[in-house]
Structure 1
Amino acid sequence: MPYVNIQITREGATRAQKAELIKGVTDLLNTVLQKDPASTFVIIEEVALEDWGWGGLPALEYRAKLRADQG
């Protein structure tokens, strides 16, 4: 019974995009590991952008730093 948790920032992923992620992950587990789609669970969690960070910075600050470093 596979359980996959996908976390993304809350930036407007559509219902259709989420459905595509769920189908794609389910199909991949079926193809690679022969896991039954009926027993595969995929959860998508949307995290507020201000609650997401990397490189020691909140996401928006990190992105601004990347843009500044690139040009």
Structure 2
Amino acid sequence: MGGIRIPFVRIQSKEGRTPQQKEDLAKAIIETMIEQGYANKDAIRVIFEDMAKDDYYSGDDY
């Protein structure tokens, strides 16, 4: 498939991460995607979604 690739990476995690932690993770993800030839730096988007503890459940909760 041709065309422009604009990958979006969505990170869903519990709230409480600092802006610096998010920035560091975003940089690592972007650098890895560039190294793998996935897309150009300016095309990659990393989106963080903070979730409150009451907004999700895991198998360990039961």
Greater RCO (CA < 8 Å, at least 6 residues apart):
2
Regarding TM over 0.5, the answer is yes
Pick the TM interval, shorter chain. Answer: 0.7 to 0.9
Which protein has the larger Cα radius of gyration, Structure 1 or Structure 2?
1
Distance 1:37 1:8 in 2: 24
| Match of residue 3, structure 1, among 2, 8, 15 | 8
Determine helix, strand or coil for the equivalent of 2:39. Answer: coil
Q: Going by fraction, where is helix more abundant, 1 or 2?
A: 1
CA RMSD of aligned residues (A): 1.6
Moved over 3 A (4+): none
Give the alignment's TM-score, normalised by structure 2. 0.81
Which consecutive unaligned segments of at least 5 residues does structure 1 have? Answer: 66-71
User: Is 1:47 the counterpart of 2:51 in the alignment?
Assistant: yes
* Aligned residue number for residue 68 of structure 1: none
Q: TM-score, length-normalised on structure 1?
A: 0.72
Identical columns (%):
28
